[in-house]
Structure 1
C-alpha cells in the first residue's frame, strides 16, 4: 500500500465535517471530494456522477464498437458455431462495454 497515493472520500458530508485520518508517522491521509476509481471513472462525495457517467457511456460504447469490429473474422467464419461466437461477444465486447459499471450511480434521470 502506498501511503503517499492513499486518499479517502466521505460521501454525503460537507467539506467542513470531513475528518482527517492520521496515519502514525506517515502524516495525514489526504481527504478528497472525488477520485478516479479503477482508472475508469470519477466518483464524487455527493454520490452524483451524471456528467462523468454521460462521458463514460459514450467512451465505453465506442470501445465496445471497436472490440466488435475486431472480431469481424469470427462473425463471418462459418466454421465457428453460434455458441462460440456468443462466448467471444460476452468475453470481448460486453466486458469492454461494462468495465467499471458496478460503480456507476444511476439516478432515475440517468436511466432515461
Structure 2
C-alpha cells in the first residue's frame, strides 16, 4: 500500500485537470509544477479569485478602484446614519467596521502593490 503524503493524508484530493498555476513576476516566468503522477499543471497568465482577476505580471489597480467605489457607495447609503449627530458614536463605528470596511477590503489578499503604491 502506498503511503499518503501532504493533503491526501488529510482526505483532500486535488483535481489536477482543473488546477491552474500563475507565477507572479515582473518578467515572464515559466514554472514546472507537477502532480504526484508527474502530470504538469497548466500555467495561466490570469485567473479569477474572490471576484478579482489576478494577473501574472501583477497590477491590481482595477480591482482596487472597484472596491473603493463600492465602499464609497456603501458610505453614501449609510451617510444619513453616519452623519446624524443624534446617533451614538459606537453605532457609527460598528457600521463602518461591519459594513463599509469589509466591502472595501473584500479580495484584498490577492492585490499586488508596486513601489509607487506602498505607504
Fold match by TM threshold 0.5:
yes
| 1:56 aligns with one of 47, 57, 63 | 63
Gaps of 5+ in 1: none
Q: How far 1:41 moved relative to its partner?
A: 3.4
Q: What is the CA–CA distance in structure 2 between the aligned matches of 1:31 and 1:41, rounded to whole Å?
A: 15
Q: What aligned pairs does 1:74-93 form with structure 2 within 5 A after superposition?
A: 74-75=81-82, 76=84, 78=86, 80-93=87-100
The Cα offsets for residues 27-69 of structure 1, whole Å up to 9 and x where unpaired, read as 543222232222223131x4x31xxx22122211110011112
Unpaired runs of 5+ residues, structure 2, are: 1-12
Which structure would you say has the larger Rg? 2
1:5 aligns with 2:40: no
Instruction: Report the structure, 1 or 2, having the larger strand content.
Output: 1
Higher helix share: 1
- Shift in alpha-carbon separation, 1:107–1:11, aligned structure 2, 3 A: closer
Instruction: Quote the Cα distance in structure 2 between the aligned partners of 1:111 and 1:22.
Output: 36
SS of aligned partner of 1:108: coil
* Aligned-pair Cα RMSD in Å: 2.9
Relative to the length of structure 2, the TM-score reads 0.65
Tell whether 2:50 aligns with 1:38: yes
TM-score computed with the length of structure 1 as normaliser: 0.69
Quick check: 1:20–1:29 contact (8 Å CA) kept in 2?
A: yes
